[in-house]
Amino acid sequence: MKIGRIETFYVAPRWLFVRVESDDGAVGWGEASLEGHAEAVDGAFAALRDRFIGHDPFAIEDIWQVAYRGGFYRGGAVLMSALAGLEQALWDLKGKALDLPAWQMLGGKVREKIRAYAWIGGDRPHEIADAAKARRGQGFSAVKMNATAELDWIGTPKLFGEVIERVEAAQAAGMDVGLDFHGRVHRPMAKQLAKALEPLGLLFIEEPLLSENPEGLRQIADMTSTPIALGERLYSRWDFKPFLTSGAVDIIQPDLSHAGGLLECRKIAAMAEAFDVAVAPHCPLGPLALASCLQLAACTPNVAIQEMSLGIHYNVGADLFSYCSDKIALTPIDGFLPIPEGPGLGVNVDEDAIRESHKDAHRWRNPVWRLADGSFAEW
C-alpha cells in the first residue's frame, strides 16, 4: 500500500479538511484547520505531497519525523497545522484499513467518556444567563466564555464588575465556568482581573496572558489559586516544555489540528502527566478535529475535559454536524462525549457535502478591533 493522493478542502464555516487515499483505495480524513489562515496551510501541502506520495501510509511516525525535520525550518502554526491534518488522516486511513479505532493502536482505553464543555456569550460576551440555561438544557454542566471584549493596557478595577456578574450569572444557571482571557488582557490589568476572579471558583482562566510572555504568566500563577490554562498557540512538545518546567500552567490546551496531530499531542500529554498537569484540548473546530480529540481522551489518563464547537458563535453557515453522515459519535450525552468505537477517528463524513462546500471556498478572517484612541486591540 502506498499513498496515492492527498487532497485539501476549504469547508464552511472556516475549516480545512484533508483526504488521503492509498493506491488501493483506502481513505482517511483529517482536519488542518488554522482559523483565518487556510490558504497558507493549504500551500504547505505542496511540499507534503512531494515528499509523501508513494510513501507507506502506515509509517505514521516516520512520515511525521520527515515532515517535521526534513524541511529544515520547523514548527509554527502553518507547518504544524498542515502536518496535523495529514497525520490525523493517516490514523483514520490505517484504522479503517485494520478495522481498529486509533485509540486501540495507541494503547487502548482508559475511560468510556469524557466531560465536555460548550461556548456561550460570543466574542463580546452578552446574554450569559439565558445561554447558560440553554446549555444546561442540552445536558452540559460546564461552559466557557470570553472574559471581556477588547481592553486597553491600563484601567481601574471598576471595569471588572461586568465580568464578575457574567460569571455569577452562568454559575447561577448551574454551570461550572472556564473563563477565556483570549490574550486580550495585558499584564497590568491581567493581574488585577485574575485576583478579582479568584473568589468565584472558576474551572480555569485561559490565556491570562499570551504564551509569548512566560514571565508574566509565572507571576499570575504565583498570585492566584485559580488554575491557569493555555496552549492553543503552542505547536509542539518543544513549545510546551518551558511552560511545564516553569510551573506556570495547571492545564495545557494543545489543539490537535495545530500541534502536529494526534500522536504529537499524546506525547505532549505524557510530558504534562509527569508534571501533574491536566490536559483540556482546544477544539473550536470541526468534526474531524473533535474526533481526533476523543481518540486522545480515550487513551490518555490526564485529559480532564474536552471543548467542542457545537453551536459556537463562529459556526455561521455550517455547524459541527453539517458534514457528518452519522452525528451519534460526536453527540454529548448528559454533558459527556462518548469514546467513539468505530475504526480510525471513529467518525464518518459526507464527502459529497464536503466537495460541495469546497466549490464556494471560504475566506474566513478574524475581526480586527481597535480601541477608543484608534490603536489596535487584541481580538
Q: What is the pLDDT of residue 157?
A: 76
- Based on the domain organization, do 152 and 85 belong to the same domain? no
Query: Domain for residue 183, yes or no?
Result: yes
Query: Domain for residue 157, yes or no?
Result: yes
**In one letter, which amino acid is 378?**
E
Q: What is the pLDDT of residue 279?
A: 98
**Residue 140's domain is classified under what CATH number?**
3.20.20.120
- Based on the domain organization, do 219 and 159 belong to the same domain? yes
Q: What is the pLDDT of residue 92?
A: 98
User: Which region holds residue 374: left if phi is over 0, alpha if psi is between -120 and 50, else beta?
Assistant: left
Query: Domain for residue 310, yes or no?
Result: yes
107-134 b/e with 16+ CB inside 10 Å = b?
Answer: eeeeeebbbbbbbbbbbebeebeebbbb
- Based on the domain organization, do 142 and 72 belong to the same domain? no
Query: Domain for residue 355, yes or no?
Result: no
- Based on the domain organization, do 209 and 221 belong to the same domain? yes
Q: Long-range contacts: 230-235, Cβ < 8 Å, 24+?
A: 230/206, 231/255, 231/259, 231/282, 232/207, 232/258, 232/282, 233/77, 233/183, 233/207, 233/258, 234/259, 235/75, 235/76, 235/77, 235/80, 235/259, 235/260
- Based on the domain organization, do 157 and 266 belong to the same domain? yes
- Based on the domain organization, do 184 and 328 belong to the same domain? yes
Domain boundary among 67, 101, 135: 101
Identify the helix (H) or strand (E) that includes residue 294: helix 287-299
> What is the chain's alpha carbon radius of gyration, rounded to the nearest angstrom?
20
- Based on the domain organization, do 242 and 109 belong to the same domain? yes
Identify the helix (H) or strand (E) that includes residue 138: none
pLDDT tens series, the chain, 379 aa: 999 999 999 999 999 999 999 999 999 999 999 999 999 999 999 999 999 999 999 999 999 999 999 999 999 999 999 999 999 999 999 999 999 999 999 999 999 999 999 999 998 998 999 999 999 999 999 999 999 988 888 887 777 999 999 999 999 999 999 999 999 999 999 999 999 999 999 999 999 999 999 999 999 999 999 999 999 999 999 999 999 999 999 999 999 999 999 999 999 999 999 999 999 999 999 999 999 999 999 999 999 999 999 999 999 999 999 999 989 999 999 999 999 999 999 999 999 999 999 999 999 999 999 999 999 999 9
Query: Domain for residue 357, yes or no?
Result: no
Query: Domain for residue 352, yes or no?
Result: no
Looking up cell 481513505 gives: 27
Residue 19 near residue 344 (C-beta atoms within 8 A)? no
Residue 63 near residue 52 (C-beta atoms within 8 A)? yes
Taking the C-alpha atoms of residue 68 and residue 79, their distance in angstroms, rounded to an integer, is 8
Query: Domain for residue 170, yes or no?
Result: yes
Residue 18 near residue 88 (C-beta atoms within 8 A)? yes
Q: What is the pLDDT of residue 225?
A: 97
Which 3 state secondary structure label does DSSP give 142?
strand
- Based on the domain organization, do 225 and 313 belong to the same domain? yes
Number of independent structural domains in the chain? 2
**In one letter, which amino acid is 251?**
I
How distant, in Å, are the alpha carbons of 113, 251, 257, 341, 343 from that of 301? Answer: 12, 13, 20, 18, 21
- Based on the domain organization, do 91 and 112 belong to the same domain? no
Range of the domain at 14: 3-101
Q: How far apart are the first and last CA of the chain?
A: 45
Q: What is the pLDDT of residue 245?
A: 97
**DSSP one-letter code for 296:** H
Domain boundary among 42, 75, 101: 101
The pTM for the full model equals 0.96
Sheet strands (E) in 248-323: 251-252, 278-279, 306-307
What lies within 8 Å, CB to CB, of 59 at 6+ separation is none
Query: Domain for residue 367, yes or no?
Result: no
Query: Do β-strands 113-119 and 142-146 pair in parallel, antiparallel, or remain unpaired?
Result: parallel
Which 3 state secondary structure label does DSSP give 114?
strand
Query: CA 90 from chain center: how many Å?
Result: 19
- Based on the domain organization, do 48 and 112 belong to the same domain? no
Nearest Cα residue to 194 out of 218, 214, 175: 218
Q: What is the pLDDT of residue 126?
A: 86
- Based on the domain organization, do 268 and 179 belong to the same domain? yes
Q: Catalytic pick from 37, 186, 258, 282?
A: 282
Q: What is the pLDDT of residue 186?
A: 92
**Residue 52's domain is classified under what CATH number?**
3.30.390.10
- Based on the domain organization, do 118 and 80 belong to the same domain? no
Q: Catalytic pick from 182, 186, 258, 313?
A: 182
Would residue 282 show up in a list of annotated catalytic residues for this protein? Answer: yes
Q: What is the pLDDT of residue 50?
A: 98
**In one letter, which amino acid is 6?**
I
